């Protein structure tokens, strides 16, 4: 039987686990429309993907993480990028739960 996650567990993982933080960025970025992804902004008020305030910086972090490098998953976020992402990503826990269902 698959684990059933809670929002609080997701938030805790985002705050404490670098891999979960990076995967969460990529998952929410994947929910953006193709136009939003290309522009690193939010154009639709649909409750999916990043908010307008977070769209540019978190999209750029997600793109950075997905870049091809020596590790298959992409490039690691810097300490400063992780600090910024950890402040902004917990609010996306409910969306992340939907991607796990």
Q: What is the pLDDT of residues 28-44, one digit of tens each?
A: 999 999 999 999 988 88
Q: What is this structure's pTM?
A: 0.88
Question: Given pLDDT bands bounded at 50, 70 and 90, which one contains residue 78?
Answer: very high
Q: Which residues contact 92 (CB under 8 A, 6 or more apart)?
A: 24, 28, 50
């Amino acid at each position: 039987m698959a684990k059933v996650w809670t929002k609080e567990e997701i938030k805790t993982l985002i705050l404490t686990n670098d891999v979960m933080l990076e995967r969460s960025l990529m998952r929410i970025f994947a929910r953006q429309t193709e136009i939003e992804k290309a522009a690193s902004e939010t154009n639709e008020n649909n409750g999916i993907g990043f908010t307008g305030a977070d769209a540019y910086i978190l999209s750029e972090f997600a793109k950075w993480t997905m870049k091809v490098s020596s590790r298959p998953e992409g490039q690691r976020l810097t300490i400063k990028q992780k600090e910024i992402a950890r402040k902004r990503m917990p609010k996306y826990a409910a969306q992340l739960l939907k991607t796990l269902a």
